[in-house]
């Protein structure tokens, strides 16, 4: 046995040396002869790569055949389950008279019952789908309502009061005018869930309108706050006094911008405010811009957010060039700082307005 193995080993070694040995490839051209040497190690490496490729191809082929067989078995199982479900859905279609079965004809009464059952199922499915859509829309609308109410609260205003004001304004506007004779139809009454969905959508629209009119912009760029809202020491007599706005000082001749869409309701000189502009933004909200050196708008003008309404100055009761900026709600001054802070959050994307 040992002699046989030794002879076999020598034979393998001999054929290996014959098959794999240093080789040289000669490439000749018109002007040059090139030699490429291929070592034994390079040949062994190439043989290994080819062997791995063949083994991987065999494995991938076997894997594909196995997966294909599995999918085909699952498909057959699903097909059988579908046929069984149809039989359960239309039980009246299963028992057929032998004579009619041979001819391939079903009982007309059974066919009508099956069609009726199918239509009833389709109506039920449609109703369920409609209810699911209504529920999803209401959940989405309620979520946006919570976000928008949060924005209103950050300004210091009451979102419920603002919504009521918006709804009242809509009812009083000409755009909401409706009428005509009553002609009943056979359409079903709107469900309670659908009514709730429409109510949520109406609230959402009202809040969007409110926020689009809130003064959340910046009245003057690159400013420094010299005096805040609330009680302070009066700069002229040194006594405690209430300051109804913010004193914001920017570079000389800085333009003053409207902080929201609105209508100019006052543009003139007014005592301590000096040259003053008031802009009505609706829903009881008014912004005031005082101590202007120039007024760029007139009473009755429609302005957009970011429109220039004047130039910073020091007219009226003022110790130097700055803007006196106020926000008033139903005639009473409220803290403008909350509106500026909320506006910055919206610009940074920390609060969603859409």
pLDDT tens figures, 292-350: 999 999 999 999 999 999 999 999 999 999 999 999 999 999 999 999 999 988 877 65
pLDDT at 263 over 90: yes
CB 78 within 8 A of CB 106: no
Predicted model pTM: 0.58
**How does DSSP assign 9-42, residue by residue?**
HHHHHHHHHHHS--EEEEEE-SS-EEEEEE-HHH
Burial of 281 (0-12, 13-18, 19+ CB in 10 A): buried
Per-residue pLDDT reduced to its tens digit, 10-23 = 776 776 667 776 77
Residue with the larger pLDDT of the pair 210 and 194: 210
Closest CA to 20 of 39, 37, 1, 3: 39
Do residues 244 and 326 touch, judged by C-beta distance below 8 A?
yes
At residue 188 the predicted structure's pLDDT band, cuts being 50, 70 and 90, is low
**Residue among 301, 215, 293 at smallest CA distance from 254:** 293
Cα Rg, the chain, nearest whole Å:
42
pLDDT recorded at residue 318: 92
- pLDDT at position 102 is 46
Which residues, other chains included, contact 307 with Cβ-Cβ below 8 Å and sequence gap of 6+?
257, 258, 297
Query: Who has greater pLDDT, 140 or 310?
Result: 310
Q: pLDDT averaged over the chain? A: 80
Residue 56 has pLDDT above 80, yes or no: yes
Interaxial angle between packed helices 40-89 and 108-154, expressed in degrees from 0 to 180 and rounded to the nearest 10 = 110
């Amino acid at each position: 046995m040992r002699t046989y193995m030794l002879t076999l080993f020598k034979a393998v070694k001999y054929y290996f040396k014959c098959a794999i040995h240093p080789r040289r490839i000669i490439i000749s051209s018109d002007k040059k002869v090139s030699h490429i040497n291929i070592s034994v190690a390079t040949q062994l490496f190439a043989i290994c790569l080819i062997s791995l490729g063949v083994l991987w191809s065999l494995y991938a082929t076997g894997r594909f055949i196995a997966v294909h067989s599995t999918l085909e078995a699952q498909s057959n199982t699903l097909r059988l389950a579908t046929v069984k479900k149809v039989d359960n859905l239309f039980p009246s279609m299963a028992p057929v008279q032998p004579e009619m079965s041979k001819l391939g004809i079903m009982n007309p009464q059974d066919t009508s019952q099956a069609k009726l059952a199918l239509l009833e199922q389709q109506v039920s499915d449609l109703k369920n789908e409609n209810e699911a859509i209504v529920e999803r829309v209401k959940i989405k609308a309620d979520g946006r309502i919570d976000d928008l109410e949060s924005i209103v609260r950050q300004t210091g205003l009451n979102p419920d009061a603002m919504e009521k004001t918006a709804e009242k304004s809509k009812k009083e506007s000409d755009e909401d005018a409706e009428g005509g004779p009553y002609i009943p139809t056979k359409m079903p009454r709107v469900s309670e869930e659908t009514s709730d969905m429409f109510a949520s959508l109406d609230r959402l629209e009202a809040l969007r309108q409110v926020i689009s009119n809130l003064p959340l912009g910046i009245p003057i760029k690159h400013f420094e706050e010299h005096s805040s809202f609330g009680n302070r020491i009066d700069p002229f007599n040194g006594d405690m006094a209430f300051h109804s706005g913010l004193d914001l000082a920017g570079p000389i001749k800085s333009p003053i911008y409207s902080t929201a869409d609105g209508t100019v309701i006052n543009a003139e000189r007014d005592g301590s405010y000096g040259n003053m502009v008031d802009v009505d933004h609706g829903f009881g909200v008014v912004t005031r811009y005082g101590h202007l050196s120039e007024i760029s708008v007139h009473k009755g003008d429609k302005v957009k957010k970011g429109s220039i309404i004047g130039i910073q100055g020091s007219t009226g009761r003022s110790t130097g060039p700055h803007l006196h900026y106020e926000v008033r709600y139903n005639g009473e001054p409220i803290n403008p700082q909350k509106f500026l802070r909320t506006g910055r959050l919206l610009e940074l994307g920390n609060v969603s307005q859409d």
